[in-house]
Amino acid sequence: MIFVLLACTTPEPEALDTSWTLVWSDTFDGDAGAPPDPAVWVPDVGGDGWGNDQLEYDTDRVENAALDGSGHLRITALREDYEGRSYTSARLTTHGTKTFGYGRLEADLKLPEGAGLWPAFWMLGANFDEVGWPACGEIDVMEAKGEEADVTYATVHGPGYSGAGGYGDHYRLRDASFAGGYHTFAVDVDPDHLAFWMDDTRVMTVRPGDLAGDWVFDDERFLLLNLAVGGTFVDEPDADTVFPAVLEVDAVRAYERTQPAP
């Protein structure tokens, strides 16, 4: 999850690619206050800014990531003094528990709004520990700035196109906020392209020739869900930013193709 330089084309609605078979999902069923399935979701704990000057300390506490008892995961950012930071939140990953190859990965999300809030649904190559970033590849399926509650971003990073040089695009709602309800954010990962979706709109398609460096998206990857506070991508929280702030997750799903990509 890194600050990016974005292309600024306007995506157009089109027929959603439906040639998929569901192979895994998490619908976050369980008792209110329980942590997400520890066999799948592992908290990244720390407060060093994660390379982006983030302001929060990410914990493994249920105060920051827990089920709501109604089939949702709530990742909650709090304004509180904790381990030398003024905010807490959570950063959940499937690193070491579950990886995904070619196919579709999607999440149904309701986003928070308010200056300084940075929700994200993203992926890193499973070889992260061996080759590091950006050689492992990063796929940001959805990032948002709380101060721009009607816009979400899709971006990829790799060697030669990382950080501010990431390749990406955005989607803007008309007369609505992403805090107003759930939306489905997805990426189709195929050998020759990545296609990003917001509900039934293709936000961006990326092919090897579009990138300023090597294509690094053919290997297995793991998922991340987090709600950052502050950092290089967003403003700092202000007096109007409401805490607790919550990223709500209704479901995360993985699919494999049942027929070739169109």
**How does pLDDT run across 18-66, given as a tens digit for each residue?**
689 999 999 999 999 999 999 999 999 999 999 999 999 999 999 999 9
Q: What is the pLDDT of residues 80-111, one digit of tens each?
A: 999 999 999 999 999 999 999 999 999 999 99
Could you give the CA distance from residue 146 to residue 111 in angstroms, rounded to a whole number?
A: 8
Yes or no: say if 252 and 25 are a contact pair by the CB < 8 Å rule: yes
Confidence at 156, pLDDT banded by 50, 70, 90:
very high
Q: What is the pLDDT of residues 139-155, one digit of tens each?
A: 999 999 999 999 999 99
Confidence at 8, pLDDT banded by 50, 70, 90:
very low
Is 56 among the catalytic positions? no
Is 138 among the catalytic positions? yes
Give the active site residue among 138, 220, 236, 256.
Answer: 138
- What is the reported pLDDT for 229? 98
Domain range list for the chain: 20-257
Give the active site residue among 56, 106, 113, 143.
Answer: 143
Confidence at 115, pLDDT banded by 50, 70, 90:
very high
Q: What is the pLDDT of residues 176-226, one digit of tens each?
A: 999 999 999 999 999 999 999 999 999 999 999 999 999 999 999 999 999
Please report the DSSP string for 143-196 in residue order: E--TTSTTEEEEEEEBTTB-GGG-EEEEEE-SS--TTSS-EEEEEEEETTEEEE
- What is the reported pLDDT for 19? 82
- What is the reported pLDDT for 90? 98
- What is the reported pLDDT for 131? 97
Please, is 166 exposed, middle or buried when counting C-beta atoms within 10 Å of its C-beta (0-12, 13-18, 19+)?
A: buried
- Neighbouring residues of 73: CB distance < 8 A, sequence distance ≥ 6: 28, 36, 65, 66, 67, 225, 248, 249
- What is the reported pLDDT for 5? 40
- What is the reported pLDDT for 258? 87
- What is the reported pLDDT for 259? 77
For residue 2, pLDDT beyond 70 = no
For residue 162, pLDDT beyond 60 = yes
| Region 20-257: CATH code | 2.60.120.200
Min mean pLDDT across 15-19, 81-85, 116-120 is at: 15-19
C-alpha closest to that of 214 among 126, 104, 135, 118: 135
Confidence at 78, pLDDT banded by 50, 70, 90:
very high
Q: Where are the alpha helices (DSSP H) in the chain?
A: 128-131
Could you give the CA distance from residue 85 to residue 231 in angstroms, rounded to a whole number?
A: 13
- What is the reported pLDDT for 9? 41
